[in-house]
Amino acid sequence: MAFTFQINDDVVFNHDERLLAKAEANRPVLKQRVIQPTRLVDIVADEAGLNGYVAVDNEQDVARLTDYPQGRDGSLVLDFGDHQVGHFSIDIDSVGSPMDAPLYLRLKFAEIPAEIAADSAEYDGWLSKAWIQEEYIHLDTLPTHLELPRRYSFRYVELKVLDTSPKWQTVFSKPQVVAESAVEATDAPTVQLADPQLQKIYDISVKTLQDCMQTVFEDGPKRDRRLWIGDLRLQALANYATFDQRELVKRCLYLFGGMTTTDGKIPANVFTAPQLTPDDTFLFDYSLFFVSILADYQAQTNDRAVLDDLYGIAKKQIQVAAQKVDPQGALRLDDAWPVFVDWSNDFNKETAGQAIFIYTLKQFITLAHLVNDEAVVEYETLLAQMTRYARETLFDDQQQLFVSGEDREINVASQVWMVLAHVLDDNQNALMMQKMVAQLFPITGIATPYMYHHVVEALFEAGQTKAAVQLMKDYWGKMVDLGADTFWEAFKPEDPDFSPYGSPIISSYCHAWSCTPAYLIQKYL
Amino acid sequence: MAFTFQINDDVVFNHDERLLAKAEANRPVLKQRVIQPTRLVDIVADEAGLNGYVAVDNEQDVARLTDYPQGRDGSLVLDFGDHQVGHFSIDIDSVGSPMDAPLYLRLKFAEIPAEIAADSAEYDGWLSKAWIQEEYIHLDTLPTHLELPRRYSFRYVELKVLDTSPKWQTVFSKPQVVAESAVEATDAPTVQLADPQLQKIYDISVKTLQDCMQTVFEDGPKRDRRLWIGDLRLQALANYATFDQRELVKRCLYLFGGMTTTDGKIPANVFTAPQLTPDDTFLFDYSLFFVSILADYQAQTNDRAVLDDLYGIAKKQIQVAAQKVDPQGALRLDDAWPVFVDWSNDFNKETAGQAIFIYTLKQFITLAHLVNDEAVVEYETLLAQMTRYARETLFDDQQQLFVSGEDREINVASQVWMVLAHVLDDNQNALMMQKMVAQLFPITGIATPYMYHHVVEALFEAGQTKAAVQLMKDYWGKMVDLGADTFWEAFKPEDPDFSPYGSPIISSYCHAWSCTPAYLIQKYL
């Protein structure tokens, strides 16, 4: 998640210390693993590679790194064999005459080969260039053991010697990363699938999830490195299907529950360092997904204590959202509190928003029954109104598809979310999904695995298993074909090199909301 | 000192632990002083400024730094009021929305305004770009207290925000430098001179010396930050005339004395971090100046213990150098062991080399008498031979000037060093200096205060006080006019913007060998 821009710096937040203490009590101890690079590579222009570059074996032996001293403008690219999230260190020495100038070194950490090839100075997008994983370092004396204090997300590391002096060169040895995650690969049961392509998709989605599971569920370990509620919902589902590390979900629920606005709203994301801080971004669907995450957690764990702690906050999300529903049962949003649905703003989101509210309202009603909330009737009434409005006004009987907005736009998101919300019956859902595939596929203009996830899940929910699997293969499978070690924040199959930020050095190639194939395969296949 | 390029990485050195332990025992404890910036400035193109830039007051108040938050590409330039050598720190925070990206900050430390204006990426000279005092720093969380681990040499600090995010800005507060030196300004007696221009020259030369006095006499605190013997000789003389911090001279004598080659030669410079390491650069005159520094130290301190420890090493320099003298008393050097005299290689150095040997041989003979070395006769014979050769063969009776090399070149360095070595009598010296001023002034092609020092001193030695003072004013006075806070490594009055490296960002604007006016004024005025 990123790509959403709001400033609401006048909003006042609660800090519920009791709930936040529970969040802290469930903070995981990160598991560490020391990993060495597997080879030295050259980054070579190649149309077949993502953004036009691939990494190819070079003739040098990574075990004999000290045989390759480097002077001004010399560089080595280490390949760590797979995507890694952690802390990098390396030993550095000089050879030749005594060291008569500092060493000036640039280290670049890259999730994909094209990031090494990209010139950071040319990046001019709106998203902060501070995210570029590149460090300039002066070392006044050698030998030294260089331990970088920051965490990086990468597979490749370029060691570029900006300068030594004409009298000596730099030698490197013992590069390593201490990889970190709240879980280890072996914490998830091994799954053997008959279909080798699905197996690859499954394994990479688990690796993606693992690398995003840190002291919170991060959206991306490269960027933004923080807890977004839309990502969390999908990560929690994938986590239940794999690592089943429940404490981390609990922690994240308490983090959101402990930091609502004074009028009760949950922010779209929170920061946890240097101190717990809610962001000032608010998205209608993201606030509601707190209900969804709590309901999913409850269904998975039956953890009544968490439900008792957080039910009131979940209810508040419904209450605040309900204020946006008119007497006819129509959701009427304004710009101050937009619905996200997907990054793109090139489609009408009204009907998808209505469906998401219905989806979460149903989950809320389940919870309300569990806690014997007498007010449940009120929400059942609201559900009925919103469902009726959806069926009677938003559904176009002639086209047998949902329309959205004044211009009665027919788009993918509306159909998908209405299926997920089960507003129509199973037969109608099946027909609707078939019509969607016939009319709106192949999909264009959707750039996020987040939206593709919902499309695939809706196909599964509507019994269109074959189409669901095909779409999963066409989408995540194509990332695999393009060399993905983990799944990406953004991907348009019709334009593989697309970056929402204009450069691969800012894009996140290990992003939480793309990790769901493991969940989808476990649940539906 | 820099600008000399040799690789002799097969030379083997002694490490005399007894002498090096004495060097370590005389390591000074640095004196620290906390200094705040005095104003915020703009760096403005102005032909009157060195390299085309000056710093002008801007309207912002440095005491209200937090009133000037900075986003992407924003910058502030702090002026610390005078040249500083030390460690910089600053407090940094964010304002606006929560910090949703790292801060990416560039700090640039500049001795002169033009360094701020220069684009480091454009520097392409042979000298290591690692010397450019510029750091790129990512800060993942704010607020923070940033303490840079490296030492810088500067007056101006540019804080350039490379990026925040569109949602927040950076605020700075409490910038400071902990300035360091082996001496404090108050350690030197205050000197009141009638001539205000000489007063300025005097004061700035003392400041230059102070900032170069660290755990060794450094050549320049910006670059190369190490102990060169040619600089040391002049620094020690200036030090006796001002701070008179004798332990530091003693330490440096022991450092050189403790690290000779296995055939006895003293290297041109030594490194002291991370461990004591002699450089593999050898210069004929620099090796001999060990004798000169020891003799000057002895004359100043009468410290017999140091003489007893180091006399043998001084003698070895004379013995090794004597092998280069032919039976006629002519010095015959080869490329493997060049004489420095000055940076420029555009003049013939043979006669100047002969004079420098005579100069140091005389000092050695004084020491030999002090220790009652019976071999002194041998060196008196050598001195007589070399002096005779100089008078009879190198001195051109018709021109009344010394010639150098096969082409009988007449240059400044030959005359100057023959005067300093007192090869002729005082009358002849006076006449020779008058002729030099008449024929070779105004000087062109000399870029170093090191060579200008010797010219001025020779004028004084030859009784040409007025010409000496005038040259001091024309040279160091012109640096003052151009805004010098400390005196520079290189300066050509006929081409003020000249840099031997092609860029001010590599030049050193506080350089030891330019600190001698204090010595010259004290000794001769």
pLDDT digits (tens, 9 = 90+) for B341-373: 999 999 999 999 999 999 999 999 999 999 999
Q: Do B138 and A150 touch (CB under 8 A)?
A: yes
pLDDT at position A2: 53
- Which run of H or of E encompasses A158? strand A152-163
Report the alpha-carbon distance of residue B428 to residue B430 in Å, rounded: 5
* HSE, side-chain direction, 13 A CA sphere, residue A204: 28
Q: Do A136 and B135 touch (CB under 8 A)?
A: yes
pLDDT at position B369: 98
pLDDT at position B2: 53
A2 touches A230 (CB < 8 A)? no
pLDDT at position A4: 65
Mean pLDDT of chain B: 97
CATH fold of the domain at B17-29+183-524: Glycosyltransferase (1.50.10)
Measured at the alpha carbon of residue A70, what is the angle toward residues A65 and A71, in degrees to the nearest 5?
170
Task: Identify the bridge partners of residue A181 per DSSP, sorted by sequence position.
Answer: A31
Task: Please indicate if any CB of chain B lies within 8 Å of the CB of A89.
Answer: no
pLDDT tens per residue, range B42-54: 999 999 999 999 9
Report the alpha-carbon distance of residue B170 to residue B143 in Å, rounded: 10
**Nearest Cβ partner for A271 among B98, B131, B165:** B98
Divide the 525 residues of chain A into consecutive groups of 10 and give the mean pLDDT of each group. Answer: 72 95 98 98 95 95 97 98 98 97 98 97 94 98 98 98 97 98 96 98 98 98 97 98 98 98 96 95 97 98 98 98 98 94 95 98 98 98 98 97 98 98 98 97 96 98 98 98 97 92 93 98 97
Contacts of B190 (CB under 8 A, 6+ apart): none
**Nearest Cβ partner for B273 among A96, A132, A141:** A141
pLDDT at position B3: 55
pLDDT at position B501: 87
Kindly identify which residue of chain A lies nearest to residue B223, measuring between CA atoms. A101
Region of A447 on the Ramachandran plot (φ > 0 left; ψ -120 to 50 alpha; else beta) = alpha
Kindly identify which residue of chain B lies nearest to residue A1, measuring between CA atoms. B100
pLDDT at position A500: 86
Residue B1 pLDDT greater than 70, yes or no: no
Residue from A91, A92, A97 to probe the interface with B (highest B Cβ count within 10 Å): A97
Domain edges within chain A: 31-181, 199-524
Share of chain B above pLDDT 90, in %: 95
Residue B180 pLDDT greater than 80, yes or no: yes
Which residue carries 């509620």 as its tokens?
A229
Interface confidence, given as ipTM, is 0.96
pLDDT at position B4: 65
Report the alpha-carbon distance of residue B129 to residue B121 in Å, rounded: 9
Report the alpha-carbon distance of residue A113 to residue A45 in Å, rounded: 9
State phi, psi for A472 to the nearest 5 degrees.
-60, -45
* pTM for this predicted structure: 0.96
- Which run of H or of E encompasses A41? strand A39-45
Return residues 177-206 of A near B (CB < 8 Å): none
pLDDT tens per residue, range B279-311: 999 999 999 999 999 999 999 999 999 999 999
Q: Do A273 and B140 touch (CB under 8 A)?
A: yes
pLDDT at position A1: 59
pLDDT at position A123: 94
Report the alpha-carbon distance of residue B293 to residue B313 in Å, rounded: 12
Please write down the HEC assignment for all residues of A42-82.
EEEECCCCHHHEEEEECCCCHHHHHHCCECCCCEEEEEEEE
Q: Do B9 and A96 touch (CB under 8 A)?
A: yes
Task: Please indicate if any CB of chain A lies within 8 Å of the CB of B101.
Answer: yes
pLDDT at position B36: 98
Residue from B13, B72, B87, B97 to probe the interface with A (highest A Cβ count within 10 Å): B97
Cα distances (Å, whole numbers) of residue A207 to A87, A222, A304, A516, B165:
18, 15, 31, 11, 30
Return residues 2-61 of B near A (CB < 8 Å): 5, 7-9
**Amino acid in the structure at residue A523:** K
CATH class of A199-524: mainly alpha
Report the alpha-carbon distance of residue B328 to residue B325 in Å, rounded: 8
pLDDT tens per residue, range B185-204: 999 999 999 999 999 999 99
The CATH number for B31-181, chosen from 3.40.50.300, 2.60.120.260, 3.40.50.1970, 3.10.20.340, is 2.60.120.260
Measured at the alpha carbon of residue B327, what is the angle toward residues B321 and B330, in degrees to the nearest 5?
60
Which residues in chain B touch residue A166, judged by CB atoms under 8 angstroms apart?
5, 126
Contacts of B137 (CB under 8 A, 6+ apart): B104, B105, B106, B107, B146
Query: In the numeric block, which tokens belong to residue A495?
Result: 């334009």
Report the alpha-carbon distance of residue A509 to residue A480 in Å, rounded: 12
* Cis, peptide link before residue B163, omega less than 30° from 0: no
